[in-house]
Amino acid sequence: MNIQGRRVLIGITGGIAAYKVCDLVSTLAKLGANVRVLLTRGAEAFITPLTLATLSRQTAFTDADFWQPLPRPLHIELGEWAELLVIAPLTANTLAKLAHGLADNLLTNTVLASTCPILLAPAMNTDMWEQPVVQQNHQRLQTQLRYHWADPEAGILACDRVGTGRMATPTKILAQIQSLLYSQGQRDLANKHLLISAASTREHFDPVRFIGNPATGKMGLALAQAALHRGANVTLVHGPISWEPPQGITAIAITSAAQMRQVMVSQFPTVDWVIMAAAVADVKPRHYSPEKLPKRSLPSTLELELVPDILGELSINKQPHQRLVGFAAQTGEIIPPALAKLQQKHLDAIAANPIDQPDSGFGSEQNQAVFLDRQGRQTTIPLVSKLHLAHALCDFVQTIPDAVGASPALWGN
């Protein structure tokens, strides 16, 4: 996602996870963001302003700068400058200050002097995080729409405790930063439940051999992240993946197309949107051996049969408020087959993406697509990050008129 020139203010408080923020600051600067950093007095015990100034290519501010004579108060200047304020790590002490509107240092004064979205990434010992008063402060801030959360993860902490309290990874925080810069902190999907499919399916003919495809699920992951970051309730149904599903979503792992169909059909009545980003197999072996076949017993020809058409089945029971969105991964001319799929499966929209273009399609970090809907609209998205494409697709789907959601019988053939 292009964040060139976007103004991101990073606030670092006094926790051991402060060292991880160096990677985040460096990555943002390399991506072209305009990054400024301020450290609390506690943060300076873990990391130096010089380190952050070097990585951000700008002066790193401390509480000592707060009291220097300047043309305008520093906290006012920084608060008005920032498009997004990120506090990572967020300690229990600073969390309490934010929850009660206290301002006794440069960081907390800057929070009160700003109006931009704020992303909070707590990090602390498990017992500290689970204290009722800390959770009360956490809940108190969750009622304020300008605050967004990269909640702590479970794992081995610096204190050797195993539990929840480890700061979200810089990669996950970066994705939220990109989303918030795109959406400007709007939770425009807050009342939506999205059902998203991702990755490939595997159709086995014995326990170790299968028909499959190279889909990694990165596009589905990006869609889940974008929807989650914009406030949606997300259920992600995914085939085999090498990445961890985002916190805050319901993830359901499957292997075969039949398993994916069962989950999608059962979940469909309760959701508002379905985005079918998974690369579902078209065929499966007719016969399955419960034991591994010896090499000498492998068939010279493999009998195949069609797998269920998941999108087609969902469209039969689609309600007027629901949106059904597909993907068409194509080579060569991408629009005609995508339009055919749009019509045949009674979809509201489809994303046609070329898998034969450089840096696009399966396994890539980027993608490009043409969005099509039943009213004949076409929106071309050039090569961008998959997260950017996911946000653009969410924008496109939101503009589909309600009339398009009518039952398939009203659409004609």
Confidence of residue 413 (pLDDT cuts 50, 70, 90): very low
Fold agreement between 7-183 and 193-410: yes
The residues carrying an active-site annotation are 159
SS3 (DSSP) at 206:
strand
The pLDDT tens digits for 21-70 are 999 999 999 999 999 999 999 999 999 999 999 999 999 999 999 988 88
CA distances from 293 to 95, 202, 203, 299, 301 (A): 59, 17, 15, 9, 14
Residue whose entry in the numeric block shows the structure tokens 């996911």: 390
- Give percent of the chain with pLDDT exceeding 90: 92
The pLDDT of residue 395 is above 90: yes
Predicted confidence at residue 105, as pLDDT, reads 97
Query: Selecting from 3.40.50.1950, 3.40.50.300, 3.40.50.10190, 3.40.50.720, what CATH number does the domain 7-183 have?
Result: 3.40.50.1950
What Rg, from alpha-carbon coordinates, does the chain have? 24
φ/ψ of 285, rounded to 5, equals -60, 140
- pLDDT tens for 174-186 read 999 999 999 999 9
Predicted confidence at residue 42, as pLDDT, reads 97
3-state secondary structure 16-27: HHHHHHHHHHHH
385 has a pLDDT exceeding 60:
yes
408 vs 413: CA distance, rounded Å: 9
Q: Where are the domains of the chain?
A: 7-183, 193-410
pLDDT of residue 51: 97
For residue 227, what are the CA distances in angstroms to 153, 221, 235, 370, 396? 20, 10, 10, 20, 13
pLDDT of 409 over the 90 cut: no
pLDDT of residue 69: 85
Token pair 């596009």: residue: 219
pLDDT at 410 exceeding the cut of 50: no
Band of pLDDT at residue 407, cut at 50, 70 and 90: very low
pLDDT in tens, 221-278: 999 999 999 999 999 999 999 999 999 999 999 999 999 999 999 999 999 999 999 9
pLDDT of 405 strictly over 70: no
Provide the pLDDT for residue 411: 39
What pLDDT sits at residue 401? 85
Is the predicted pLDDT of residue 412 greater than 60, yes or no?
no
Inter-CA distances, 207 with 204, 253, 285, 291, 292, Å: 7, 18, 13, 6, 6
CB 165 within 8 A of CB 126: yes
Name, in order, each residue with C-beta under 8 angstroms of 413's C-beta and a sequence gap of 6 or more: 343
Summarize pLDDT for 134-162 with one digit per residue, the tens: 999 999 999 999 999 999 999 998 888 89
Tokens representing residue 163 in the block: 């539990």
User: Which residue has tokens 């149904």?
Assistant: 237
pTM for the whole structure: 0.93
How confident is the model over 389-410, as a mean pLDDT? 75
Say what the pLDDT of residue 278 is.
97
Q: Does domain 193-410 have CATH number 3.40.50.10300?
A: yes
- Give the Cα separation of 11 and 25 in Å (integer): 11
**How far, in Å, CA of 188 to CA of 190, rounded?**
6
The answer on pLDDT for 381 being more than 80 is yes
CA distances from 368 to 176, 218, 362 (A): 21, 13, 12
Of 80, 45, 46, 48, give the one whose Cα is nearest residue 61: 48
**Residue % of the chain over a pLDDT of 70:** 97
Are 260 and 280 in contact, with CB atoms under 8 Å apart? yes
Contact 116, 85 (CB under 8 A): yes
